[in-house]
């Protein structure tokens, strides 16, 4: 790519900073079956997640969801596999970078903050924005751009319950065979 091409591409990608993508309200409230199915696979045996009577008698006095299920409640579901993710600004950004040879993708960092534990019947909404996009970087995988999304989670009363940042590297795979 020429310097002019790169400048043109960067003008396009930086326009995505601040764009909202993936705003939704969970189709199911926080519930025991989804918690149990998750705990089975993760090997989590905490009765505060699994046994309503024990949880009610315990320190919390109620059953709560595991913390790292925060992002599970609003997942898109089987459509991701059957028909593909619906277009949103993040998908457009990825497509744009793909089209310019930055077709590698890897998640690098994510942080979740939990403002309170989620309880049964909470209905979780989330709103994600593209928070920032780095300058062009040289990495071990190749040249590329890091972009970071911020997702804010709230309950049925609009009260914040958690926050997530998620950083992704979109890169032009280094041609190792020509090195």
Partner 1 sequence: MTQNLKSSDISVGQTLPERPIPVTSSLVTCAALATRDFEKVHHDKAFAQASGMPDVYMNILTSQGLTESYLRDWVGNDAVFRKLSVRLGAPNIPGTTMTMSGEVKSVDGNTVEVEVVGQNDKWGMHVKALATLELAS
Pick out residues in 91-120 that bind partner 1 (CB under 8 A): 106-114, 117
Query: Which among 177, 143, 178, 147 is positioned nearest to 165, based on CA atoms?
Result: 147
Contact predicate 63/120, CB 8 Å: yes
149 touches partner 1 (CB under 8 A): no
Contact predicate 50/35, CB 8 Å: yes
Contact predicate 164/70, CB 8 Å: yes
Q: Give me the least distance between CB of 38 and partner 1, in Å please.
A: 5
Closer by beta carbon to partner 1, 9 or else 166: 166
Q: Give me the least distance between CB of 156 and partner 1, in Å please.
A: 20
Pick out residues in 16-75 that bind partner 1 (CB under 8 A): 37-38, 40-48, 58-60, 66-69, 71-72, 75
92 CB-side CA count, 13 A: 14
- Which tokens belong to 8? 């043109």
Q: Which residues bind partner 1 (CB under 8 A)?
A: 37-38, 40-48, 58-60, 66-69, 71-72, 75-81, 106-114, 117
């Amino acid at each position: 790519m020429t310097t002019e091409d790169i400048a043109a591409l960067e003008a396009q990608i930086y326009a995505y900073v601040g764009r909202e993508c993936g705003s939704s309200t969970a189709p199911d409230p926080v519930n025991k079956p989804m918690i149990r199915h998750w705990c089975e696979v993760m090997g989590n045996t905490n009765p505060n997640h699994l046994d309503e009577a024990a949880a009610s008698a315990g320190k919390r006095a109620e059953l709560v969801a595991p913390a790292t299920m925060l992002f599970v409640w609003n997942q898109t579901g089987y459509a991701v596999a059957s028909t593909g993710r619906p277009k949103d600004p993040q998908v457009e950004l990825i497509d744009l970078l793909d089209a310019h040879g930055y077709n590698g993708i890897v998640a690098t960092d994510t942080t979740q903050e939990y403002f309170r534990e989620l309880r049964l019947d909470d209905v979780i909404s989330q709103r994600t924005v593209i928070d920032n996009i780095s300058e062009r970087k040289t990495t071990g995988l190749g040249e590329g751009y890091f972009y970071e999304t911020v997702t804010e989670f709230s309950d049925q009363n609009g009260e914040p319950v958690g926050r997530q940042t998620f950083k992704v590297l979109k890169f032009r795979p280094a041609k190792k065979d020509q090195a």
